[in-house]
Structure 1
C-alpha cells in the first residue's frame, strides 16, 4: 500500500489554499499517479474483513439508508480465554453486501500504517485532526441520503465508479451535520461521475449525495476537521482559566446570585486582562502544534530505538538529544548531573564529553568515557541513551 501525496489530492498547494480551501469544491481528474488500488483495494478489504480484531465501530453496515444492527453480522468468540462479544462474521457481511448493503470502514488510520501516514501529512498541512473512512458500495446502490458533514472531505475514488451531486454550502456554516430532501436542494453546482484515480474536494458543510453506478465502488473519504475561531479561542481561554485566580468554587444558589455579581465581574475582568497580555503569535503556534499532533496521526519508533540501543557497539556514532542536562559540582572524578528532574552522578570524563556534544558533533560509543575500556564506555553510552540523553546518529 502507498500513501497519496498532498499534490495528488489538492494540486498546487498555494492555489488550493487561496481559491478552494473553505470556499469551493475542486475536481481533479486522474489525480493519483499509478494504480489507485495501490492505495487500497477491494482485495485489501477482503483481508481486513477476515481479521477478527476488526470489530464495530470500525466496521459499520448501512442498507436502504438505515444502519444494520451489529448483532446481524457479529458473534461471540473466545480470545485467549476472554470472551469478545462482537467479532465480525465474514459470511454474514458478504451476504448483506450481496443484497445491497454499503460497508463503512471507519478510522482506517487506526489500522493501516499507510493510511495513518496520510492523516499525519494532512494534520501537518491543516493543523487539524484527520480521519479516513472507506466506503464499499454495491453496483447501483446509494449508501446515504443527501447530507452535509462538519468536515472538509477529500474523496479518492479507488475502484469502480460513483456518481456525485454537490450543492452550494448553506449561507451560514456552523460546522454541524445536516440532512436534506432532494427536492429542497435544487440544481447541483457539480454533478459528475468519479473514475478510479479521481479526487474530489468538498469544503465543510457542502451538501452531497453519491451512488455507485454499474460496478462495485470503493472510495476513501479523507476527513480534515477544521477548527473554527470559536474552537481556537476556546482553547486559548481554557489555558488561561487553568491558572491561579480561577480555582475557587463559588456557592451558586438563588440566595447568592446577587452577592456573586461583583465577584463574577472581577473574574471576567481578570480573564480579559490576561487575554490582552497574551503573546498572540506564540499562542497561535501552540494551537497549530496541538492540531498537528491530534488523535489518529501519531507515530512512534520506540521499539526501533530500543533495538538500536541494544545493538550499540564501540564504533556506533551517538548524538546528544534535546533532553535538558544540567551539570553541578564535581568531586572525586564524578559530576552530579540533573536529567529530567533526576540527579545522578556520572564520571567527570563523561560529563566533559556530553558538554562537547552540545555542538551536534557525533561521538563513537567507545569515546563517551575515554578513560575506560570500550566495553565499559559502551555500557555508559547505553545507559545515557535509555535516559534519553543520547541517541544513535542516523
Structure 2
C-alpha cells in the first residue's frame, strides 16, 4: 500500500519507457542543455568581466530577443510545412557552429563585447528555428494521456542542465578560462544532433499550408480565437518579463555577496535545484484537472519568491528563495506545455510552438534587459522586489480580465 502511494507521488517516467524515439530525444536534449547552460553563465561572466556593467549583461537579452521574435514566428510556419526532423537537424547544426565560434573568440583573447552579442543573436535565431520543430514532434511520439508526464520530464531536462551547467561552467572558468567552458558546450551539443538523426521522419500532415506570412497569420488568428492558449502566454510573460532575475546574478555575486564566478554559478543553479526537487515529486501532475488554477497559483508563488530574494539577508536565504521560484516555474511550465500540446491541432502545432518559443525564450531575454536596467538605475535588491511585485500584479490583472481560464479542465481541453 505504501509503495502504491509513493508511485502516485514520484515522477511518472512512462514516456521514457513506451517510446524509444522520445527517450533518445530526451537524453540528447538533456546532455546538450548542460552545455548550453554552461555557455549562458560563461557569456554573462565574460561580458561582466569586459564591461563591469549589469546593463551590458542585460543587453544580452535584447540581442537574443530580436532574432527570437523574428525567426520564431516564421520558423513555426516552416515546421508545419516541412519535415520537422530535417528542419531541427539543420537549425541545431547552426547552433553547434555558434558554440565553436564562441570557443574560438575566447581562445583568441577577444576583448570586443560586440562579438559576443553577435554570437548570441545568431544562436537565438538557430534556437528559434529548431525548437518549434522539436517540441511539435513530441505529440507524435507519445499518446495524449502521457503528455503531462512528458511536460514534467522536459522541464526536468531543462532544469537538470540549469542546475549542473552553471556550476560546472563556473568551475571550468576558474580552472581553464572562458575558452574551456565554451569548448565543453560544443562537445556536449553533439548529443542533440545524434538524437535528431535517430528520430523517424516527421513529414507535414496532409493539407498543411505552405510556409509564409499567410501561414503565420493563420496561426496567430487561431491564437486570437483561443483564449486559454493565449492566457498561458500572457501569464508566462508576467513572470519572465517582470521577474526574471538572471541578469542581476553577476552583480549580486560580486557586489552584494562578495563572491565571484562560483557564486554566480550557485545563483544560476538555485532555481533549477528547486525545479528538480519539484520534478522528483511530480507524479501528481497527471492527476490535476484544473490546469488554469495550477498555472496561476504557481506563477504567483514564483513572483513572491523572486521578490523575496531582494529582501534576503544572506546568500543562503537568496539561494533558498531562488530554489522556490524554480520549483514554482517548473510546475507552471509542465501545465502550460500540456495545454498547448493537447488543445492545439497537429497542423498548427509548429506555428503555435513558434509563438511559445517567442514567449518562453523571448520573455526571459526581455526580462534580462528590464531588470538589468532597473538594477543599474537603482540597486539589484530593489530591482528584484519591484520585479516580483510587478509579476504578482500582472497575474492578478490578467485573471480578473479572463476569469474563465480558472475553469480550464484537462478532461475537456479547449483552446
Using the size of structure 2 for normalisation, the TM-score is 0.24
Of Structure 1 and Structure 2, which has the larger fraction of its residues in strand? 1
Q: Which has the higher contact order (CA 8 A, sep 6+)?
A: 2
Of Structure 1 and Structure 2, which has the larger fraction of its residues in helix? 2
Highest Rg: 1 or 2?
1
Using the size of structure 1 for normalisation, the TM-score is 0.25
